[in-house]
Amino acid sequence: MMITIQKLAAMAGVSTRTLRYYDQTKLLTPAAINEAGYRLYSQQEIDRLWQILFYKERGLSLGTIKDILDDPDYDARAALTSHLKTLKEERSHLDLLIDTVEKTISERKGNLKMKNEERFEVFKQQLVDENEEKYGEEIREKYGDEKIDKANQKMLKMTEAEYKQFQELGEKILTSLEQAVQDGASPEDEVGKEIAHLHTQWLKMTWPASAYTKEAHQGLGEMYVADERFQAFYDKNVEGCAAFLRDSLKSWL
């Protein structure tokens, strides 16, 4: 069954002008045009419009959306499954953030007393979620689900002081790496030893003791260079930092 452009516009909450523009740009072409010149849309076009509006809501440009939907390898079911997972993670984070804000308001009213750990739980959870989204597949394949799950739990159980120390160590590692590369230092120099020591401290704050080995740590250093996302993180400001860290770990662990 076909529906007119007016009915589709009303159903989707968009203007007929928008649908005409989508037709002009080949983003959404009608299934047919009747004798009176009206655009008609079938279920296929309705489904495609839903996907267009979904991706638009996620902040993608119309050009990017067209490229995605027109890709011959595009799998709508797989894409939606992935998006559903992301949305559920975002909802979980928002629920936790709302809960933290509500508790903070109640505390300021004198109705309850929050533990310091509760105040930072939402930020630790966000860091865990972001790491899982960016690197979860690779690190789980390399180290196994059990070790990564334990590392995530160790992160979530950090006290306020531990979390602050973890953040400060991470910043110090990045600053030291950038300075060392800019100075033309060698990973075998004393600065390389210090960076390897700092990174060991930082890593052991999340890795369970049973999971840590020199070989596993050095393997992580190799991943920092082999995986372009890790490399981009360390080389964000100064190129060569990921390689310097890898070689420091090789030299001093």
Inside any domain, residue 108:
no
* DSSP string covering 178-230: HHHHHTT--TTSHHHHHHHHHHHHHHHTTS-TTT--HHHHHHHHHHHHHSHHH
Question: 123 and 50, same structural domain?
Answer: no
pLDDT of 194 reads 96
Write down the residue that tokens 């989707």 correspond to.
12
Instruction: Give me the chain's average pLDDT, please.
Output: 85
pLDDT of 140 reads 77
Give every CB contact of residue 140 below 8 A, 6+ residues apart in sequence: 148
Confidence of residue 141 (pLDDT cuts 50, 70, 90): confident
Q: Is residue 123 scored above 70 in pLDDT?
A: no
Domain boundary among 55, 70, 85: 70
What CA–CA distance (Å, rounded) separates 20 from 12? Answer: 14
Inside any domain, residue 138:
yes
Question: 166 and 47, same structural domain?
Answer: no
Give every CB contact of residue 84 below 8 A, 6+ residues apart in sequence: none
Inside any domain, residue 84:
no
Inside any domain, residue 105:
no
Confidence of residue 163 (pLDDT cuts 50, 70, 90): confident
Write down the residue that tokens 């789980």 correspond to.
140
Inside any domain, residue 136:
yes
Inside any domain, residue 174:
yes
pLDDT in tens, 60-79: 889 989 999 999 888 888 88
Question: 131 and 56, same structural domain?
Answer: no
Task: Calculate mean pLDDT across residues 123-136.
Answer: 66
Question: 230 and 119, same structural domain?
Answer: yes
pLDDT in tens, 219-246: 989 989 988 878 888 998 999 999 999 9
Q: Give the range with max mean pLDDT: 130-139, 182-191, 210-219.
A: 182-191
Domain boundary among 70, 99, 129: 70
Question: 232 and 171, same structural domain?
Answer: yes
For residues 34 and 27, the answer to whether their CB atoms sit within 8 Å is no
Q: Is residue 118 scored above 70 in pLDDT?
A: no
Q: Is residue 3 scored above 70 in pLDDT?
A: yes
Give every CB contact of residue 240 below 8 A, 6+ residues apart in sequence: 181
Q: What is the pTM of this model?
A: 0.50
Q: Token digits for 171?
A: 């910043």
Question: 137 and 12, same structural domain?
Answer: no
Count CB-CB contacts under 10 A for residue 222: 14
Question: 237 and 129, same structural domain?
Answer: yes
Instruction: Work out the end-to-end distance of the chain between its first and last CA atoms, rounded to an integer number of angstroms.
Output: 69
CATH number of the domain within which 39 lies: 1.10.1660.10
Question: 180 and 57, same structural domain?
Answer: no
Domain boundary among 15, 49, 70: 70
Confidence of residue 184 (pLDDT cuts 50, 70, 90): very high
Lowest-pLDDT range, 6-10, 71-75, 188-192? 71-75
Question: 66 and 120, same structural domain?
Answer: no
* DSSP string covering 48-106: HHHHHHHHHHTT--HHHHHHHHH-TT--HHHHHHHHHHHHHHHHHHHHHHHHHHHHHHH
Question: 235 and 125, same structural domain?
Answer: yes
Question: 242 and 126, same structural domain?
Answer: yes
What CA–CA distance (Å, rounded) separates 198 from 215? Answer: 17
Q: Is residue 180 scored above 90 in pLDDT?
A: yes
Inside any domain, residue 18:
yes
pLDDT of 153 reads 76
Domain that holds residue 63: 3-70
Inside any domain, residue 52:
yes
What CA–CA distance (Å, rounded) separates 235 from 233? Answer: 6
Domain total in the chain: 2
Question: 160 and 51, same structural domain?
Answer: no
Top pLDDT among 186 and 90 is at 186
Confidence of residue 117 (pLDDT cuts 50, 70, 90): low
